[in-house]
Structure 1
Amino acid sequence: MNRSFRVYVYPHRRNDPFANVLLPVDFEPRGNYASESYFKKAFMKSHFVTKDPSKADLFFLPFSIARMRHDRRIGTEGIPDFISHYIFNISQKYPYWNRTGGADHFYVACHSIGRSAMQKAWEVKLNAIQVVCSSSYFISGHIAHKDVSLPQIWPRQEDPPKLGSSKRNKLAFFAGAVNSPVREKLLQVWRNDSEIYAHSGRLKTPYADELLGSKFCLHVKGFEVNTARIADSLYYGCVPVIIANHYDLPFADVLNWKSFSIVVATLDIPLLKKILKGISSEEYLLLQSYVLKVRKHFQWHVFPSDYDAFYMVMYELWLRRSSVRVQWSTSLDSNW
């Protein structure tokens, strides 16, 4: 992949009226949805970019859902129109979209608004590769193995802590807003338990301490199937427990999730303690050992590092490149 994979990015001038939407951000990404900006910043400086479209395996649509959301000229309601106009413009100016109907194109989005962003550009949703955090088998328009599940990762600059399991006194931990029936059920059953710490609202203790002090950390579906909790769990060496039906898990084409996580169906929330206590000490230590091995795949770096989140996304895209290169003549290309 490193030697041969190349991607063409549709060019835009720095004085473009919407350069803020189309070019990488010039500040350090922050917040729950930073993955989109981290990928874009790393990618645009990488050796994967080619200025020669004839050498491209894929084509990148560089618009930013997160940036459009905060641009008063566009806003949440205007995103579908912006994308529709963008696709129309590149299809008129360049030949590449029309050759495949966008099947060799991709875009990246982490915010849940990305789900509705293609309402007026269905060819993007159906044909292009969607690299998205909101990756659920249950969502209309998400096509597993065509689309890529982007991990939602809270930005951290420091290296992960070196960990052991001896001080993990809590069986399981969850804290977060109660914004879904699944979380309501979790709190209803386990709110007052002495071994499963399920909390809503603001914590009285540091979030990191709770993750460091728990054997299992619960990733519970909220408004979407995705949250930053899986990456948080891995970072602090806590075995993630995924309670989110239909979640197309990040890097599932590459990683064996059964080796470092537990998946619990939402209907089995009342059985959660029985399931977790049924895991022996030996089985837990094996799970945690793989947590420590895979957590490097769930980190962004200012300068990408081998096998980090950036390279994992690129590998997922490389797996989806077309096996048939579309050829076109020089005369055809010059007519555009």
Structure 2
Amino acid sequence: MSTQKWLLLPLVAVAGLVLRQQLASSGPAENRPTAHQVIQEDVESVFVTYGAGTGRSLLQDDENDKHKDELVKQLVAKLNRTALDPVPSKPEERCALTQGTWCMQYHMQEPVQRYNPPSYDKDCPNECNGVGRCNHETGQCHCPAGWGGSDCTQPRKRACHHMGADKRDAGWHNLTHWSHTRCAGVCDDNIGMCYCPPDTKYGRREAADPRLPPIQAGRPLFMCTPGTDKDGKKVEWGGTPYEDMFGESGWCNADKPKFRCPCRVDGLSGTLCDAPLEQTCANQCSGHGDCNLGFCKCHKGWYGVDCGLRRKGVYLTDGDQVTSKPWMQGVITPAVAPEDPPMTPYRRRPYVYVYDMKSEFSTDLWQYRIEAAHCVYRRFDTKNKTLWAGYNAYAAEPLLHELFLTSEHRTLDPEEADFFYVPISFACLFEVYGWNAIPRWPAKVHGTRSYGAAMMQLEAMKWIAETFPYFKRNGGKDHIWFMPHDEGACYVWKDIWPGVMLSHWGRMDMPHASQTGYGQDNYSMPVRHKDQPVNWLDHTSKAHPCFDPKKDLVIPAFKPPSAYRESPYMGSKVGQKRDTLAFFLGDLRMEPGKDPHCQYSRCLRQRIYNISTEGKWKETHNILYGDRNAVGKHDYSKQLASSTFCFVLPGDGWSPRFEDAVLHGCIPVIIMDQVQAIFESILDVASISIRIPEAEISKIPQILKAVPADKIAKMQEGISRTWQRFRYIKLKMIIEDARKVLAGHVSANDGSAPKNLGAAYSVSKQDDAFATIMQWLYSRIPDATGKPLAPAQAAVLPAASGGATGAAATA
């Protein structure tokens, strides 16, 4: 090799090292060159420029030295264009705008060696009848919908509304009342789902062994009800002509029916609802089980709600489905806690044990949901392509469950746990409650949705206390509950209240009453029934506030990266010019009869709209405010990124407007008295937002225009240093979505990665919302458990890079 090449290679190597450290953040692997390719291309150009065998040495030629320096500068510049700036590494940088000592406490703890996880080997009775899932830690069976008892042999049915003994309706004219689960065909009474009857060509035909799948699943009749019977007599609870459903050319008989019932059940697609799809389960059963509408039937030797745990003696590759189902690769996040031997050598507290909950409080609700997009944050579509489920206000519930299951903070040894996470399907119950008489607690009491959820949570707590010794050990203070409902933890039972409440709603006033405009969610309504002899309000909302900042935390709702695709932090140039002073787009409920008492949003959205219209805010102040009829069909992400201020107003309780603002670099304008915003108890939210009292909404334009330009710039800088804490990114599907968004902007920008402040976090897993929760929980260990924190250490591990795993990625 020539002298010139030897002298240049160390410089190229330095540039290459920078690139290798950062290139993982620059977009999907399939859309970017590798570090080797980039360096090799530039090295070859260097060799061509200088040639070989010239007989000249760079050390002897000042002119060549000058050219060499210039070439290396160009090379480094090109390499830097392809990579993002490094994320902060020092604890004091990572703890920017935090309040208190929680963040530094977490980072200054000394990481400890991760040891092999405990393995369990308990058998379950009767092998759970071949239908259930054995928990080899407890020896208990977890049964799918339709089955119960200690060994999953007992029937546990969910009949359709007004169902007779033959699983058909007990008489179309005997009852005129409509219900979601009233069935004109035959009922799958395991989950309360309706299908074409077995005497039609495409009817449901059950197998002789009820444990087996049906011989023919049948076309679904969900939300498809008859308007007439076969004789033409009107059916009061339906609306579709009999012939369209059951005639020769109808839905249940024709190969190409002239009428089609909706296909909304999970696992099927197509105009005839006959194209099978992968169904949605927690972490997709980790590739070690079969998903049945949310219930994982684990392969032999695997267990857990996501089949992510191995029985003693089972190998990691036993029963792996990912090879045969490649579409699952993009949605399965490898779990850290079961690694044996550990691939992540170090770990940090807090250690969190995740309960494998009884089906009644968890997977039953998923199996009952009927609507494929309910209760989930992702789903499978045509050809098993994975999609976000669309807008699901409660999407953080299944998301958090997967995050805890796969987290490096999870422990499989409950004896060492600092906290216990209780993953009940609280929000999912809201999607199915009222559709059917099951589930309800007590069985015959039908109150509001908030009552039903509170009763389910109470029964879940009783089951935990009876099954495990840990709840009573600290009076439940070390148990974590997520309350995603609009009004958060306002109505949890006082026996549960000592625990850690995660919610989206930080309402502080006490006493308090429900402010929802939707009666079914009103937690202040009394329930009177012989099976509910006590006043439930005395044990819930009247016994405690909605939020206690000393023990609880207001956490972000889930937004996939594509929802903030035009954010400057994701590489978009839209935010370079913020030409709208302030912006709000959302539901106003101004239509006659929709909200007659103006309860929704405390009547704030409506009052501000009326004031803005009268004051011509759009024309006079460049403030866009209203619903789509008033504001127009703007691209929501682009408009947020184009605005200086964004309004944060309540809905029926919480609304994800704070996240929308911060994720786009827009300064939040908080208008909701006595309500803490997300992370307001642990971050200096006041330095990155404006708070306007409800009584001063008429002064909004004057208040915003009075904010000095230097203060706006400082707030925007603060947001750029903390925005990553308001989004979740640690699951595989989310990080891939982020990489896709970033790659699109890089491609549109001639290959340049964004260099604006905050963009370093675009695809970094470091210090996201879940990591923030974990870091804060560490500081809560003494109060929740009585355990002391370890003495702070001066040395810390390196910061995590965008795609890092192992010790550096612990939070």
Would the aligned equivalents of 2:362 and 2:423 in 1 still touch at CA under 8 Å? no
Give the alignment of 1:98-113 within 5 angstroms: 98-112=472-486
Q: Return the offset for 1:17.
A: 5.2
Q: Return the offset for 1:93.
A: 1.6
Question: In the alignment, which of 198, 203, 206 is matched to residue 625 of structure 2?
Answer: 198
Would the aligned equivalents of 1:237 and 1:288 in 2 still touch at CA under 8 Å? yes
Give the alignment of 1:1-336 within 5 angstroms: 1=106, 3-12=348-357, 16=359, 18-20=361-363, 27=378, 30=389, 31-71=392-432, 73-74=438-439, 76=449, 77-112=451-486, 114-115=488-489, 118=492, 121-125=493-497, 127-138=498-509, 139=512, 140-157=545-562, 160-162=570-572, 167-178=577-588, 179-180=600-601, 181-191=603-613, 192-193=616-617, 194=619, 195-202=622-629, 203-224=632-653, 226-301=654-729, 302-303=731-732, 305-323=765-783, 325=785
Quickly say closer, same or farther: Cα 1:44–1:210, change in 2 above 3 A: same
Deviations along 1:259-312, whole A, 9 cap, x unmatched? Answer: 211111111111111111111222211111222221111111124812001111
Q: 2:578 corresponds to which letter in structure 1?
A: R
Q: Return the offset for 1:216.
A: 0.6
Looking at structure 2, the residues matched to 52 and 238 of structure 1 have their Cα atoms a distance apart, in angstroms, of 43
* 1:54 alignment partner, SS class: helix
* Bigger Rg, structure 1 or 2: 2
Would the aligned equivalents of 1:182 and 1:222 in 2 still touch at CA under 8 Å? no
Looking at structure 2, the residues matched to 197 and 25 of structure 1 have their Cα atoms a distance apart, in angstroms, of 32
Q: Decide which moves more: 192-201 or 181-190.
A: 192-201
Q: What is the RMSD computed on CA atoms of the aligned residues?
A: 2.7
Q: 2:722 corresponds to which letter in structure 1?
A: V
Looking at structure 2, the residues matched to 239 and 281 of structure 1 have their Cα atoms a distance apart, in angstroms, of 13
Deviations along 1:11-64, whole A, 9 cap, x unmatched? Answer: 247xx4554269996946642322232222111111211121221111111112
Looking at structure 1, the residues matched to 352 and 393 of structure 2 have their Cα atoms a distance apart, in angstroms, of 27
Would the aligned equivalents of 1:105 and 1:128 in 2 still touch at CA under 8 Å? yes
User: Counterpart of 2:268?
Assistant: none
Query: Which has the higher relative contact order, 1 or 2, with Cα contacts under 8 A spaced 6 or more apart?
Result: 1
Q: Share of identical aligned residues, percent?
A: 25
Q: Return the offset for 1:326.
A: 6.2
Quickly say closer, same or farther: Cα 1:323–1:84, change in 2 above 3 A: closer
Looking at structure 1, the residues matched to 481 and 641 of structure 2 have their Cα atoms a distance apart, in angstroms, of 35
* 2:782 alignment partner, SS class: coil
Q: Decide which moves more: 231-240 or 244-253.
A: 244-253
Q: Return the offset for 1:9.
A: 1.8
Q: Return the offset for 1:66.
A: 1.6
* 1:123 alignment partner, SS class: coil
Q: 1:85 corresponds to which letter in structure 2?
A: E
Q: Name structure 2 gaps, 5 residues minimum.
A: 1-105, 107-346, 367-374, 380-387, 441-448, 513-544, 589-599, 736-764, 788-811
Q: Return the offset for 1:258.
A: 2.0
Counting matched residue pairs gives: 321
Looking at structure 1, the residues matched to 487 and 425 of structure 2 have their Cα atoms a distance apart, in angstroms, of 11
Looking at structure 2, the residues matched to 199 and 324 of structure 1 have their Cα atoms a distance apart, in angstroms, of 44
TM-score, normalised on structure 2? 0.37
Looking at structure 2, the residues matched to 47 and 188 of structure 1 have their Cα atoms a distance apart, in angstroms, of 50
Would the aligned equivalents of 2:644 and 2:667 in 1 still touch at CA under 8 Å? yes
Would the aligned equivalents of 1:153 and 1:232 in 2 still touch at CA under 8 Å? no
Quickly say closer, same or farther: Cα 1:240–1:167, change in 2 above 3 A: same
Quickly say closer, same or farther: Cα 1:248–1:43, change in 2 above 3 A: same
Quickly say closer, same or farther: Cα 1:276–1:107, change in 2 above 3 A: same
Would the aligned equivalents of 1:9 and 1:61 in 2 still touch at CA under 8 Å? yes
Looking at structure 2, the residues matched to 313 and 22 of structure 1 have their Cα atoms a distance apart, in angstroms, of 26
User: Counterpart of 2:315?
Assistant: none
Looking at structure 2, the residues matched to 171 and 27 of structure 1 have their Cα atoms a distance apart, in angstroms, of 35
* 2:624 alignment partner, SS class: strand
Q: Return the offset for 1:244.
A: 1.2
Q: Return the offset for 1:217.
A: 0.7
Q: 1:220 corresponds to which letter in structure 2?
A: L
Looking at structure 2, the residues matched to 287 and 114 of structure 1 have their Cα atoms a distance apart, in angstroms, of 28
Looking at structure 1, the residues matched to 682 and 770 of structure 2 have their Cα atoms a distance apart, in angstroms, of 14
Quickly say closer, same or farther: Cα 1:324–1:184, change in 2 above 3 A: closer
Looking at structure 2, the residues matched to 60 and 286 of structure 1 have their Cα atoms a distance apart, in angstroms, of 38
Q: 1:58 corresponds to which letter in structure 2?
A: F
Q: Which is helix-richer, 1 or 2?
A: 1
